[in-house]
Copies of this chain bind each other. A is one copy, B any other.
C-alpha cells in the first residue's frame, strides 16, 4: 500500500451499494480513528454506528427535509456546484450504505472541532485502505440527532459518514496541480 496513491485514489462517494461489510472491518476502521492525535490527548469525540434500519430511515427523512430547505436558500455558487455534481436533496445513500458513522465532538474540550476532524480523516483513509467508500456528509442541520441517538448535550454532531461499497467504479483523482506552496512568505511561491 502506497500512502500517496491511497490518498489520491480516495474519492467521496454518493452512490452506495447495499452490500454489507464485516463488523471486524468496521471495527478496525473505527479503531483507526482513535489513533489520531488530539488536543491534550483528550480524544474529544464519539462515534455512533447506525445500522438499525428504522433509525437509518428516520435519519434519511430528516436529512432530506433539512437539505431541501438548505439547498433552496443557498447561494448560486453552491447551487451550481451541486448541479454539476448531480447532487440533490435525495439521500438514498443514508439507507443504502450498511453503516452510518455519526461523529460528534465534545464541545467542552480544547481544540475539539480540530481534533474531531483529524479523527474523521483517519476514518476516511482507513476505510479506503479496506476498499470501502465513504462520504463526509454534513446535512443542513444536525439537531434532530440529539433525540434520535441520545447524544449528550455537551457533544455536537459534525458529520455523518456512510461506509460501504461504492455502487459504481470510482473515477480516480487527477494528480493535483493545485498544490500551491509558499516559501517563507505568502507572496513567494
Contacts and interface: CB of A to CB of B under 8 A. Distances in A.
A171 interface: no
A94 B31 CA distance: 32
Chain A, interface residues (CB within 8 Å), range: 35 or more
Contacts of A187: 150
A3 B178 contact: no
Contact of A51 (B47, B50, B114, B184): B184
Contacts of A1: 1-3
A182 B46 contact: yes
Contacts of A138: 111
A129 B8 CA distance: 15
Interface stretch (A14-22, A33-41, A60-68, A162-170): A33-41
Nearest to A149: B185
Interface of A: 1-4, 6-8, 10, 12, 27-28, 30-37, 40-41, 43, 46-52, 55, 78, 81, 110-111, 113-114, 117-118, 120-122, 124-126, 129, 136, 138, 149-152, 158, 173, 176, 178-187
A10 to B, nearest CB: 7
A176 B35 contact: yes
A186 B4 contact: no
Contacts of A182: 46-49
A184 to B, nearest CB: 5
B35 A186 contact: no
Contacts of A51: 183-184
B3 A136 contact: no
Contacts of A32: 3-4, 7
A81 B126 CA distance: 30
Nearest to A102: B182
A31 B3 CA distance: 12
